[in-house]
Amino acid sequence: MEGTVLRVNSVSKRFGGLVALDNVSLEVGRSTITLLIGPNGSGKTTLINVVGGVLKPDTGAIYYEDKDITYMSPAERFRLGIVRTFQTPQLFSSLSVLENVLIPSKYFLEENVLDIVLSNRWVTKDREQVQRALEILSLLRLDHLWDAPASSLSGGQMKLLELGRILMSEPRVVLLDEPLAGVNPALAREIMKRLREIRDELGVTFLIVEHRLDLASSYADYVYAMHRGSVISRGTPDVVLKDPLVLEAYIGSSR
């Protein structure tokens, strides 16, 4: 693939006797929205965990910009610009919505955001950070909740807030594990559109686990379908979504 930014090379991962990833290879093109689909338990989250560095593969390697990152910690990957969300959002529940988004801008960890905003101490950069955070919250329809504790949000809103926080970190590669689960369809479409703009304007690459195939067909550049730890189909959305192997995997798993 031209301009490959991320390469997964023959990765396998077992949990005891269960083969969660079975010799998986894939490439993610630079500045694409690449989707990972597949029935429950097919290995999607495990793959995101291996790429994000939470899990080490048993065999195989991960390359970012041709650099072997297989044994780098999640923090080292974060510094390279590889960021991820979790299937269950990881938020600071007692901090406000705005503070949760501002966390990647380290300055604000030290103090209460409101104190900074109300004082004369903030310089232009800080104002820009808050401005950007509010823009991200507005995109995610969370701006009216900026001062609410994260713990008070609904499940869908928590997923959006976690997405907001990683957008704030100026990422290069974004790994999203079902970011739109629990988000209403109209807002989900708007967010996918905005991710496309971020892809085009900033050249960010997205690897997204998504169950909703309608979103896949409308917004993805490329799709990988997994089943029982293996990649069973790859290609543009129209090709993969019409692949009999993919349909069979979904139907088989719903029985």
User: Which chain residues interact with ligand ATP by CB under 6 A?
Assistant: 15, 18, 20, 38, 40-46, 87
Nearer to ligand ATP, 88 or 184 (CB): 88
Provide the residue type at 190 as one letter: E
Structure tokens at 100: 């949760």
Nearer to ligand ATP, 108 or 206 (CB): 206
Q: Closest approach of Cβ 37 to ligand ATP, in Å?
A: 9
Convert 150-173 into a string of H (helix), E (strand) and C (coil): HHHCCHHHHHHHHHHHHHHCCCCE
Rg (alpha carbons) of the chain, rounded to whole number = 19
Nearer to ligand ATP, 49 or 100 (CB): 49
Give, for 214, the enclosing helix (H) or strand (E): helix 213-219
Residue 107 partner contact from ligand ATP, Mg ion, none using kind-dependent CB cut-offs of 5 to 8 Å: none
Query: Which residues are CB-neighbours of 17 under 8 A, at least 6 positions away?
Result: none
Residue 164 partner contact from Mg ion, ligand ATP, none using kind-dependent CB cut-offs of 5 to 8 Å: none
Q: Per CB under 5 A, does 42 bind Mg ion?
A: no
Q: How far is CA 41 from CA 48, 53, 227, 250, in A?
A: 13, 19, 8, 11
Q: Closest approach of Cβ 202 to ligand ATP, in Å?
A: 27
**Residue corresponding to tokens 């090379």:** 9
Nearer to ligand ATP, 19 or 103 (CB): 19
Handedness of CA 144, 193, 183, 102 (dihedral sign): negative
Q: Closest approach of Cβ 211 to ligand ATP, in Å?
A: 7
- Residue whose C-alpha is closest to residue 22's, from 13, 30, 31: 13
Residue 20 partner contact from Mg ion, ligand ATP, none using kind-dependent CB cut-offs of 5 to 8 Å: ligand ATP
Q: Closest approach of Cβ 48 to ligand ATP, in Å?
A: 8
Q: Per CB under 5 A, does 45 bind Mg ion?
A: yes
Residue 38 partner contact from Mg ion, ligand ATP, none using kind-dependent CB cut-offs of 5 to 8 Å: ligand ATP
Q: Per CB under 5 A, does 46 bind Mg ion?
A: no
Q: Closest approach of Cβ 80 to ligand ATP, in Å?
A: 23
Q: Closest approach of Cβ 44 to Mg ion, in Å?
A: 5
* DSSP assignment string, 16-84: TTEEEEEEEEEEEETT-EEEEE-STTSSHHHHHHHHHTSS--SEEEEEETTEE-TT--HHHHHHHTEEE
Chain residues in the site for Mg ion (CB under 5 A): 44-45
